[in-house]
Amino acid sequence: GGAPLPALWYDFADESTVTVSSSQVAQVTSKGSRSWTLTKSATGPAYVDGINGLKCLDWGNVQHSNWLQNTNTTSTAIGEVYVVVDASFGGSFPSFAGLMTSTSGSGWYFLGSPSSDNFTESGTDFNRVFINGGATDRFGTAFDSPSIDSPSILRIVNSGSSTFNSTTGFQIGNDRGTANRGWFGLVGEYIIYSSVQSTENRAIVMDYLAAKWGITLI
């Protein structure tokens, strides 16, 4: 058997789920159990042949104010997030680069932090991150071993294995709509579960992502 269907699943390699307008990603449809479509802000990321030759989002390597968002007001729990990235920016993140954030200024967020090249968050929502299946929590520490300057799978969870609710939707690629707080590099896929997954289900998801995106697990 396989892992359960995620609540939200944005697979940018699946071109049937992505709408492109003027070379920008305008809309992405979720393949998960929640039909939350992400739509672009004034501008969207580029859609490129990137990670392992598969289509993915390209946020570039300059500060930007682009994002994809859903403003659904129906609450849904978020417990575990998997995201494939290739942040080949060659240096530090810009100011608080948002990989996944709420749509409001006071809400939760998961960010790359400037100057120190690590991950940070707000409150007690996301506070653990594991890279490529490794057992070491990279949250708040420099992620140079392994580095995410090449295709990587981030697994993001809460240290208490609890969940939180998204009541106003969320954004990817930017820190809650704040100019010049954009994520750097490529993003291939988000798989978002309403609860923290079992060891067996986690292995299924990691193996699927690693094989698909050409990533070696550690």
Both tokens assigned to 167? 């009541």
Residue 106, pLDDT > 70, answer no
- Whether residue 187 contacts residue 59, with contact meaning beta carbons closer than 8 Å, is answered with yes
Identify the pLDDT of residue 149. Answer: 86
109 confidence band (pLDDT: 50, 70, 90): confident
| DSSP 8-state class, residue 197 | P
pLDDT at 66 over 70: yes
In Å, how far from its chain's centre is CA 66? 15
What pLDDT shows up at residue 131?
Answer: 94
Looking at residue 11, its pLDDT comes to 98
Q: How far apart are CA 217 and CA 211, in angstroms?
A: 10
Mean pLDDT along residues 197-217:
96
Q: Is 84 a residue whose pLDDT tops 90?
A: yes
With a cut of 90, say whether residue 1 has pLDDT above it. no
pLDDT surpassing 70 at residue 124: no
**Averaged confidence pLDDT in the chain:** 88
3-class secondary-structure state, position 204 = helix
At 30, the pLDDT band (50, 70, 90 cuts) reads very high
pLDDT tens by residue, 38-51: 999 888 999 999 89
Q: Is the pLDDT of residue 154 over 70?
A: yes
